[in-house]
């Protein structure tokens, strides 16, 4: 078995300085975060979810992981690399490191940046070992993010990690299927935006006439591998709808009991405007998501990207498999259950997991063909 370089390192821990502080952190039952670079001062406060060990560069990080593995019999719960000017040489070093030691591919890897979040997306695409870019604002929910990404990566790295039926197959990265899927996404999304541009201009004008506020609704959603992106729709609700969410939770049509996964869908939501109701019932509010498809955030077919407050409740082994599939505009859930009131949380997640297991280009084509039949909903949800 390959091993790390055996040189031990005296590293600085956020909870103290020197070897004793590191030994204390590593021996603790809490999870350990390996932070590479200079941590922000707000990160130095206590956190009951994990402890941080700091390394200054990639080589020092390798030595820290050697200590964790062979001295303390542990591995970091996640690696966080602070973006800095030397990234052009550091990221190839990380890429070589992960390709040499394949078992490390199960560890979540995040880039931390103070700003320029959107500009760093290209690095996530270029280097497959990078799971996401995070900022200080997301630090408080880092534990949930790590939980989801680590389960996904363990299932991908160690297939036996998740016990499934021998007849079930996890998402397969077949080149032909992926190439055809992406080609179809780009072609249909670009064509759709061109053909529907007059309709989009009309809708934008009507939204502005009906109520004050933005034309588009843009919010962060979690897609495949819990990757967070900005999700676009035509605004169908009053401008401050998100702040009124707690007031309408008692109207939730899902059978949540406060424990486990949380989905919120309200029949005849009082926050929806008159025009918004029409746009939802005809699915015209979804048209701006073609921009997400062109950007590569979403596909035409996949599992719906979830609001972060929903995604952070899906961290158990039973539910995390839904994140194996890409985010999509339409999918198995929309075709089979759209607009029906009798759906349970378990039923919706089971449909998402079913698609993640069965997905293929042929299956996507079947779902696209059957989507028009589900466009007109039976209920205003």
DSSP 375: S
The larger pLDDT score, comparing residue 140 to residue 220, is at: 220
Q: What is the pLDDT of residues 227-239, one digit of tens each?
A: 888 999 999 888 7
Residues 317, 302: Cα–Cα separation, whole Å? 20
Of the two residues 187 and 159, the one the predictor is more confident about is 187
φ/ψ (deg, to 5) at 147: -60, -45
Domains of the chain, residue spans: 12-161, 175-374
User: 14-18: which pairs have CB atoms within 8 A and are 24 or more residues apart?
Assistant: 14/39, 14/43, 14/44, 14/51, 14/52, 14/53, 14/54, 15/51, 15/52
- How far apart are alpha carbons 203 and 6 in whole angstroms? 64
pLDDT of residue 282: 85
Q: In this predicted model, which residue has the larger pLDDT, 352 or 136?
A: 352
The per-residue pLDDT for range 114-128, each reduced to its tens digit, is 776 666 777 877 888
Which of the pair, 12 or 365, is modelled with greater confidence?
A: 365
Is the domain spanning 12-161 CATH 3.20.20.60? The answer is: no
Task: Return the closest-CA partner of residue 321 out of 178, 128, 151, 77.
Answer: 151
Q: How far, in Å, CA of 356 to CA of 299, rounded? A: 13
Three-state SS string over 243-284 comes to HHHHHHHHHECCCCCCCCCCCCCECCCCCECHHHHHHHHCCH
Least confident of 111-115, 138-142, 144-148: 138-142
In the chain, % of residues over pLDDT 70: 71
Which residue carries 């299927």 as its tokens? Answer: 177
pLDDT digits (tens, 9 = 90+) for 15-38: 333 444 444 444 444 578 899 988
Q: What is the pTM of this model?
A: 0.55
């Amino acid at each position: 078995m390959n091993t790390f370089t055996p040189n031990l390192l005296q590293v600085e821990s956020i909870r103290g300085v020197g070897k004793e502080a590191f030994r204390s952190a590593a021996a603790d039952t809490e999870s350990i975060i390996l932070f590479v670079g200079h941590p922000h001062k707000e990160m130095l406060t206590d956190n009951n979810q994990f402890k941080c060990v700091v390394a200054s560069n990639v080589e020092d990080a390798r030595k820290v992981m050697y200590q964790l593995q062979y001295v303390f019999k542990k591995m970091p719960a996640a690696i966080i690399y602070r973006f800095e000017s030397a990234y052009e040489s550091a990221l190839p070093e990380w890429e070589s490191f992960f390709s040499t030691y394949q078992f490390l591919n199960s560890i979540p890897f995040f880039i931390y940046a103070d700003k320029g979040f959107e500009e760093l997306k290209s690095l996530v695409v270029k280097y497959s070992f990078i799971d996401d870019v995070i900022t200080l604002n997301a630090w408080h929910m880092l534990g949930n993010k790590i939980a989801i990404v680590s389960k996904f990566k363990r299932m991908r790295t160690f297939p036996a990690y998740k016990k499934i039926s021998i007849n079930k197959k996890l998402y397969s990265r077949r080149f032909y299927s992926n190439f055809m899927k992406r080609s179809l996404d780009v072609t249909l999304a670009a064509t759709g935006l061109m053909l529907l541009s007059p309709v989009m201009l009309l809708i934008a004008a009507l939204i502005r006439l009906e109520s004050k506020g933005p034309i588009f609704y843009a919010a962060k959603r979690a897609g495949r591998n819990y990757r967070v992106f900005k999700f676009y729709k035509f605004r169908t609700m009053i401008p401050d709808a998100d702040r009124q969410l707690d007031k309408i939770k008692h109207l939730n049509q899902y059978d949540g009991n406060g424990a486990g996964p949380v989905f919120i869908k309200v029949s005849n939501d009082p926050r929806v405007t008159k025009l918004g109701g029409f746009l939802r019932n005809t699915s015209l509010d979804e048209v701006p998501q073609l921009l997400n498809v062109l950007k590569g955030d979403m596909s035409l077919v996949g599992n719906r990207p979830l609001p972060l407050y929903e995604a952070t409740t899906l961290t158990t082994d039973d539910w995390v498999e839904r994140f194996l599939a890409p985010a999509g505009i339409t999918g198995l859930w929309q075709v089979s259950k759209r607009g029906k009131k009798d759906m349970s949380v378990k039923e919706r997640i089971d449909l998402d997991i079913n698609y993640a297991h069965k997905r293929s280009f042929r299956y996507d084509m079947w779902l696209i063909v059957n989507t028009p039949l589900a466009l007109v909903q039976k209920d205003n949800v």
